[in-house]
Structure 1
Amino acid sequence: MARGDDEFVEFVRNSSTRLQHAAYLLTSDRHQAEDAAQAALAKTYAAWSRVRRKDAYAYARQVLVNHVIDGWRRPIRENATEEIPERPSGLDVAGAVVQRKWLLDALRTLTDRERAVVVLRHFFDLKESDVAGELGVSVGTVKSTNSRALTKLRITAEDGTELIGGLGR
């Protein structure tokens, strides 16, 4: 193994699930989310010697968001498969499906920027200044975009559907 590979393997174990979940919130597609998380981890590994002593998770998160945004700009078409996905055992599947459907439908009502701001702010618990830095916009833009997006989500919730739980926690 190359120097630092053990650290990277540990990093992947600790962060891949959360990165994949965030990608799912951004894309609303499990397969695209898996691809985006893998791409983010691959690019993080390529830069590992540079980022491992800094905040590697922040780097991977930024790569993930940029990758998903690039996908919005250049959508890739995929063919459906007949393979049935595995089901987790011991969970309230119906409740989880209702919650996931509501959240994804609600997130789809947002613009791409609004969705990115909401996921970075509330799923990743980033400060407004950090979101602004990752998206390359001003803090004021993050504040107004977040406010507008949350208003849209509240209106969606008041229209008869209710969000069960939080944004991915």
Structure 2
Amino acid sequence: MLKYPDVQKRVQEEMDSVVGRERLPKLSDKPNLPYTEAVIHETQRFGSIVFIAAPRFTRSEVKFRGYTFPKGTHILSNLYSVTRDPSIFDEPDVFKPERFLDGDGRVKKIPEQIVFGAGKRVCLGEQLARMELFIFYTHLMHRFSFKKPTDAGSLNTQPKLGGVLTPFPYDICAIAR
């Protein structure tokens, strides 16, 4: 939200009109906050922290796109490459929450949004994580506006490589709303 203050403002306006200022957002508000949910999806796509899913192996011989994988072949899914694939996500290096909204402004599911893994065995905690992320994000956005300190340089949104993808350090100002 530091890098995209217009997005932050729109999220806060949506929450103020749906939730009001007298109470915090609840999970039951989620269907009425489509732009906010789209921002969460785009943040997960854009700032994915896991680039390779947990290893899997083939239980039998598999033929895929002209290749044959023998039984027992270890398979690694490159989640990062999918969430940055320009054939799936137009302008993948541009932060565009609107890509997760349909023509009527409702949240649309994009099957390639695989930040919790791919296939039948995605992360067991996905549903809990999605609920907690919604509550955590909306509570922060409801109570605070986030800005860069005046003396801060530009924000680097490229991930720092390691066991997981992490952001580079930066300073932040959280201003009570």
Which structure has the highest strand share of the two? 2
Which of these two proteins has the greater Rg computed from alpha carbons? 2
TM-score (norm 2): 0.24
Whichever structure has more helix as a proportion of its residues is 1
Greater relative contact order (CA < 8 Å, ≥ 6 in sequence): 2
